[in-house]
């Protein structure tokens, strides 16, 4: 594969036009690249920043072929791009990260099997194809446990908790998936994530882990540094770099971990794209996760992931963004709004990052 970077002025095609695509487009513009966005919605957040928006369905192969003809490299801001679409793109332009990575990460079982195959620790899990599998596996996994649809789950959607006495038949019917994964519940001390970039030359750059607090399965706050030992932070970064290399990734990877009460690390989930828990890098690092993503995708050398400040990033969910006059007036608060027209309960409308002088690792 050529390691010559695409020159500024080249066009990046992004599948998905949400806030991740929007902030990627802003970073691309900073470096002189053009962005085309593919998203079926009218006026999605990224299209307000992009040079061109194709509003077609993700499986509209005619639209995909036309879109591909106008770009120099393709990437995505969400992992559920249909496989035939990725295959069509791969016939025309470089796709970074490559389609095989999407294939692995689109399916929670394939993802966990991949991790186990490269020696990365996860919670105990097993495959469930129906109520009989669930009855057989539940005693082995124990309770509490969590049953997750293997595909299309995010922010806790498609998940059911199992406790002693849970009616397994009912929980299976309620989940409504054709295939699921049953995971042992982790009594974690905290949740952290590491964002790692990997360039076209195989070099990696990992950001400091953030400590992530969720409410109703949605990320509320990411704090850096995380309240963990420096050794655990180092181990998490090394693990994220190992996974990125094993995937032969070119782009960005978010690795979500549980830190167990005895200081161990279990990987919960991967995302091969910018991640909500990495938004703090926009204000606290020389090179943000979005710039790093653009650099990797166009083949530029990666920037430094070093941070100059400590940071607390808070998501603005639903109507919280309406406090923009106060947030804009708050000294030291950096306000980011995503340009979404409709405010809905729990919807990510923006975020605010508060900085403090750097401490810790
Ligand atoms: P996920 O969609 O897999 O990222 O899960 C969303 C959230 O549910 C995680 O961030 C955890 O807070 C919680 N969760 C998921 N799986 C487990 C598990 N096996 N044990 C404990 N908590 C979990």
Share of the chain above pLDDT 70, in %: 98
Amino acid 158: pLDDT: 86
| Residues spanned by the domain of 230 | 188-357
Q: Does residue 279 lie within any of the structural domains?
A: yes
Q: Are 229 and 262 contacting, i.e. CB atoms less than 8 angstroms apart?
A: no
Name the residue of 105, 125, 146 whose CB sits within 8 Å of the most ligand 1 atoms, as the mutation to test its pocket: 146
Between CA 23 and CA 233 the distance in angstroms is 26
Q: Determine whether the shortest distance from the Cβ of 191 to ligand 1 is under 6 A.
A: yes
pLDDT, tens digit (0-9, with 9 covering 90-100), for 319-340: 999 999 999 999 999 999 999 9
* 135 Cβ contact list (under 8 Å, min separation 6): 168
- Specify the number of domains making up the chain: 3
pLDDT at 75 exceeding the cut of 80 = yes
Give the SS3 label for residue 18. Answer: coil
Please give the torsion angle defined by the CA atoms of residues 98, 338, 281 and 257, in that order, rounded to the nearest 10 degrees: -60
Q: Does residue 104 lie within any of the structural domains?
A: no
Q: Report the length, in residues, of the chain.
A: 361
Radius of gyration of the chain (CA): 20
Q: Determine whether the shortest distance from the Cβ of 146 to ligand 1 is under 6 A.
A: yes
Q: Determine whether the shortest distance from the Cβ of 269 to ligand 1 is under 6 A.
A: yes
Question: Do 200 and 264 fall into the same domain?
Answer: yes
Question: Do 313 and 201 fall into the same domain?
Answer: yes
Amino acid 185: pLDDT: 97
CA of 84 to the centre of ligand 1 (A): 30
pLDDT at 1 exceeding the cut of 60 = no
Amino acid 97: pLDDT: 98
With tokens 């204000």, the residue in question is: 283
Question: Do 176 and 201 fall into the same domain?
Answer: no
Atom nearest to 144 CA in ligand 1: 20
pLDDT, tens digit (0-9, with 9 covering 90-100), for 223-254: 999 999 999 999 999 999 999 999 999 999 99
CA of 123 to the centre of ligand 1 (A): 11
With tokens 């790692």, the residue in question is: 196
Buried b / exposed e across 23-62, counting CB within 10 Å, b at 16+? bbbbbbeeeebbbbbbbeeeebbbbebbbebbbbebebee
Amino acid 56: pLDDT: 98
Question: Do 204 and 325 fall into the same domain?
Answer: yes
- What's this model's pTM, rounded to 2 decimal places? 0.96
Give the SS3 label for residue 356. Answer: strand
pLDDT, tens digit (0-9, with 9 covering 90-100), for 167-190: 999 999 999 999 999 999 999 999
Amino acid 152: pLDDT: 80
Domain boundary among 77, 95, 113: 95
Task: Please report which confidence band the pLDDT of residue 361 belongs to, taking 50, 70 and 90 as the band edges.
Answer: confident
Question: Do 169 and 259 fall into the same domain?
Answer: no
């Amino acid at each position: 594969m050529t390691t010559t970077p695409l020159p500024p002025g080249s066009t990046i095609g992004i599948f998905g036009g949400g806030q991740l695509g929007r902030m990627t487009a802003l970073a691309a513009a900073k470096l002189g690249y053009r962005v085309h966005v593919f998203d079926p919605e009218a006026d999605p957040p990224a299209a307000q920043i992009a040079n061109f928006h194709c509003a077609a369905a993700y499986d509209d192969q005619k639209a995909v072929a036309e879109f591909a003809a106008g770009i120099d490299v393709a990437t995505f801001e969400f992992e559920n791009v249909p496989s035939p679409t990725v295959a069509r793109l791969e016939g025309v332009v470089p796709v970074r990260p490559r389609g095989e990575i999407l294939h692995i990460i689109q399916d929670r079982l394939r993802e966990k099997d991949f991790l186990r195959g490269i020696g990365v620790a996860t919670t105990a899990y097993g495959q469930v194809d129906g109520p009989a599998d669930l009855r057989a596996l539940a005693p082995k996994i124990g309770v509490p446990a969590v049953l997750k649809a293997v595909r299309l789950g995010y922010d806790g959607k498609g998940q059911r908790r199992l406790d002693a006495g849970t009616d397994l038949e009912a929980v299976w019917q309620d989940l409504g998936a054709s295939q699921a994964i049953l995971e042992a519940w982790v009594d974690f001390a905290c949740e952290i994530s590491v964002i790692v970039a990997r360039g076209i030359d195989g070099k990696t750059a990992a950001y400091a882990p953030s400590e992530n607090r969720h409410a109703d399965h949605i990320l509320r706050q990411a704090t850096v540094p995380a309240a963990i030992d420096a050794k655990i932070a180092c181990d998490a970064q090394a693990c994220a770099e190992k996974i990125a290399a094993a995937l032969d990734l070119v782009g960005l990877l978010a690795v979500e971990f549980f830190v167990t009460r005895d200081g161990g690390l279990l990987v919960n989930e991967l995302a091969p794209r910018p991640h909500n828990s990495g938004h703090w890098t926009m204000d606290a690092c020389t090179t943000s996760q979005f710039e790093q993503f653009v650099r990797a995708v166009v083949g530029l050398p990666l920037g430094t992931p070093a941070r100059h400040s400590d940071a607390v990033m808070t998501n603005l969910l639903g109507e919280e963004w309406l406090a923009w006059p106060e947030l804009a007036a708050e000294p030291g608060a950096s306000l980011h709004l995503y340009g979404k027209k409709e405010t809905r309960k729990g919807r990510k409308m923006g975020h605010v990052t508060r900085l403090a002088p750097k401490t810790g690792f």
